[in-house]
Chains A and B, each alone.
With several copies, the nearest count.
Chain A
Amino acid sequence: MMYTFKFQGDTYKINLEEEGEKTEVEISASGDSTKPDFSSGKSIPIEFQKIDESFYSIIVDGRSIGVGILKKGKKVEVFLGGDLYEFESISDREREKAKGVISGVQEIKSPMPSRVVKILKSNEDVVKEGEGIIVIEAMKMESELKSPIEGKVKEVKVKEGDAVESGTVLVMISSE
């Protein structure tokens, strides 16, 4: 079966097929024995074993990988070699939709529970992409949230001093 993931703006496809089926293969044993080389073309068996709650052992033709995996709905967090990779699984239908251009109204949401320190723009202000819109504070640190698009401030939904939850919509920007 084909799986499609988004990661840092790029789209990756990966095909897992059952033994016996004819497969297009791109994993092989290679010189470096730590990590499988995923670029050449030999068909190889994979073993995937859950060890505990979120720790998995993958054995690819003798090569062993211990990896942390957390699946939350369409998101898959993979922890490997000290880094957390956040993949977003995309169904076929979503990929179709993604081809349409982004427009309309964009929301600036609070990325974590925080407090609104300063609102830099008011309703109807024209803003550029990447321009600072609002400053929030969490864990004793301030962060400026920026506009994802060029457009106009449609609505500021909070005021300075407000305590907001993760995901709260703070400001809406209209692309027009």
Chain B
Amino acid sequence: MFNKILIANRGEIAIRIIRACRELGVKTVAVYSDADRRSLHVAMADEAYHIGPPAPAESYLVIEKIIDAIKRSGAEAIHPGYGFLSENYAFANICEKEGVVFIGPTSEAIRLMGDKVTARKIAQETKVPLVPGSEGAVSDVEAEVIAKRINYPVMVKASAGGGGKGMRLVRKEEDFKSSLRMARSEARTAFGDESVYIEKFIERPRHVEIQIIGDSYGKVLHLFERECSVQRRHQKVIEESPSPAISDATRKKMGEVAVRVAKAVSYRGAGTIEFILDQNGNFYFLEMNTRIQVEHPVTEMVTGFDIVKWMIKIASGEKLPFSQDDLSIKGHALECRVYAEDPEKNFLPSPGKIEYLRTPSGPGVRDDSSIYNGYEVTPFYDPMLSKLIVWGERREEAIKRMSAALQEYIVLGVRTNIGFLGRTMENEEFIRGEIDTGFIERHPELLPPSLEDVKPALIAAALAMRNSTQEIDTSKQAPLSNWKLLGRKLAVSRGPLI
């Protein structure tokens, strides 16, 4: 095992890795920008090096600064976490050349899977299903043949496209010709290029992914799936394992397929193969993430497999002692990402100082976070405050536990999506597992608070106003002593809400 590992990351994932290292008896080295001097990962690590200004481009993304910190600290290995340099094959390559162990796959595997076209090709070669469609641009005649073959509905998409322009959904054969014409015309206007390609349109797609783990000796196992369909603006919000949508047969097949892709690039460490799942249970390769995922805890909760610890063990040369049959899912786990954002204002980030924090606890509850009373949520980094993860014997139990845990959460100073998450846990469609990537858009009613709590909140506000007046009046009072309204009476005038 390594003596010392540098963690080229910040926030909750840096803390997650520090915890894994502490359990393994490995010393940790933190790096931090000016904005992170007061961050917990710095105080929790055994060593800490400053690497520059707050902007990631000037600190966490600067390869030379990370390499310099590795050399100064004498760390033998580097864990990239997620984001930042985690999928930068050039960085992994420099580490390899410098003789520093990169805790993750080889730079070659990162390079291959990082390029979407290459990744698709690898998937195709290993007989992994891809979303049916044309291979690149097509003529009018080819287009219609392919559309017929892959079956309607289909999408016509501008090859040079983006932003929805030159894109047409075609549901019936009779509409194809005119839609194709319009798409080409739009594409010509928007991009000066009328070439289009054809793709099967997936209705109500679900996002399901397979966690895989490989060692340096050719063994690759999968740790089953995670369903991450509840998203806003392609950002995952709620994840779970197992998926409520797939059968045991599909689970097995997806796992096998994922292992096949990973083996094709001699994959080492933890990785994720992302799939789109349609309403009939067909799944299609989307991409591979060659790093630890934000949502890895749900897999840890149901399998008992400590992914982060095993990444480190594998990087230090340990063999995976399990076979696929040793692994199984027990119960159900859910993760809610708590963001500093305002669901009512289109999930606008809400940076600021956390003036007060109470976090949930109890059986089956795990809160992976890096925040504290007084923590400053800066605009420089991702506004995720915490990952709240729960385990339950069954999905319904996990949902109720999440709901109860969210009730315990209190954050003052910044806006959060906690209320939205809580209402989602009580939504009938969500409870029935009827989720897809359009879930949040379809449920705007979950965004604002229900108004039934306005009145008690109002009473609390009035009591607080009254309390602060009292505190000024009674200056002899000790700072933490309390006043009592016991026996006093209260009245509220009819507000506009009754």
A residues near B (Cβ < 8 Å) are 1-3, 5, 7, 10-19, 21, 23-27, 33-36, 38-39, 43-60, 62-71, 76-85, 87, 89, 111-114, 137-143, 166
From the candidates B30, B47, B495, name the one contacting A33 in the complex (CB within 8 A): B47
Tell me whether A56 and B491 are in contact (CB under 8 A).
no
Tell me whether A57 and B43 are in contact (CB under 8 A).
yes
Tell me whether B459 and A14 are in contact (CB under 8 A).
yes
Stretch at the interface among B171-179, B221-229, B481-489: B481-489
A38-B459, A46-B489, A114-B379 known; A12-B495 Cβ under 8 A? yes
Tell me whether A139 and B381 are in contact (CB under 8 A).
yes
Flag whether B135 is at the interface (Cβ < 8 A): no
Q: How far is the CA of A83 from the CA of B344 in the complex (A)?
A: 11
Flag whether B132 is at the interface (Cβ < 8 A): no
Flag whether B4 is at the interface (Cβ < 8 A): yes
Tell me whether A85 and B490 are in contact (CB under 8 A).
no
Tell me whether B38 and A51 are in contact (CB under 8 A).
yes
Residue of B nearest to A25 (CB): B491
Flag whether B498 is at the interface (Cβ < 8 A): yes
Tell me whether A112 and B379 are in contact (CB under 8 A).
yes
Residues of chain B from 442 to 480 with CB closer than 8 A to chain A in the complex: 449, 452-468, 472-473, 475-477, 479-480
Tell me whether B373 and A52 are in contact (CB under 8 A).
yes
Residues of A within 8 A of B413 (CB): 70, 77
Tell me whether A16 and B358 are in contact (CB under 8 A).
no
A-B contact pairs, 26 of them (CB 8 A): A14-B461, A14-B491, A14-B492, A16-B463, A25-B491, A27-B492, A35-B452, A35-B453, A39-B494, A43-B489, A47-B486, A49-B482, A50-B38, A54-B412, A56-B464, A57-B37, A65-B456, A67-B460, A77-B355, A78-B457, A78-B464, A82-B419, A84-B415, A112-B351, A112-B475, A139-B382
Q: How far is the CA of A91 from the CA of B476 in the complex (A)?
A: 26
Q: How far is the CA of A78 from the CA of B473 in the complex (A)?
A: 23
Stretch at the interface among B236-244, B249-257, B324-332, B402-410: B402-410
From the candidates A35, A47, A76, A138, name the one contacting B461 in the complex (CB within 8 A): A76
B495 smallest CB distance to A (angstroms): 4
Flag whether B163 is at the interface (Cβ < 8 A): no
From the candidates A18, A137, A138, name the one contacting B351 in the complex (CB within 8 A): A138
From the candidates B372, B423, B487, name the one contacting A19 in the complex (CB within 8 A): B487
Contact with A along B38-52 (1 / 0, CB 8 A): 101011111111000
B residues near A (Cβ < 8 Å) are 4, 27, 30, 37-38, 40, 42-49, 72-74, 348-352, 355-356, 358, 372-375, 378-383, 406-407, 409-413, 415-416, 418-423, 449, 452-468, 472-473, 475-477, 479-480, 482-498
Q: How far is the CA of A142 from the CA of B459 in the complex (A)?
A: 31
Tell me whether A7 and B458 are in contact (CB under 8 A).
yes
Tell me whether A71 and B349 are in contact (CB under 8 A).
no
Tell me whether A141 and B348 are in contact (CB under 8 A).
yes
Tell me whether A58 and B460 are in contact (CB under 8 A).
yes
From the candidates B49, B449, B476, B477, name the one contacting A85 in the complex (CB within 8 A): B449
Tell me whether A24 and B73 are in contact (CB under 8 A).
no
Residues of A within 8 A of B459 (CB): 14, 27, 38, 46, 58, 60
A30 smallest CB distance to B (angstroms): 12
Known A12-B454, A33-B4, A33-B46; 13 more pairs at CB < 8 Å: A3-B465, A25-B491, A49-B484, A52-B373, A69-B461, A70-B412, A71-B465, A78-B461, A82-B406, A83-B453, A85-B457, A139-B381, A141-B479
Residues of A within 8 A of B379 (CB): 112-114, 138-139
Tell me whether B416 and A84 are in contact (CB under 8 A).
yes
Residue of A nearest to B496 (CB): A10
A151 smallest CB distance to B (angstroms): 23
Tell me whether A79 and B410 are in contact (CB under 8 A).
yes
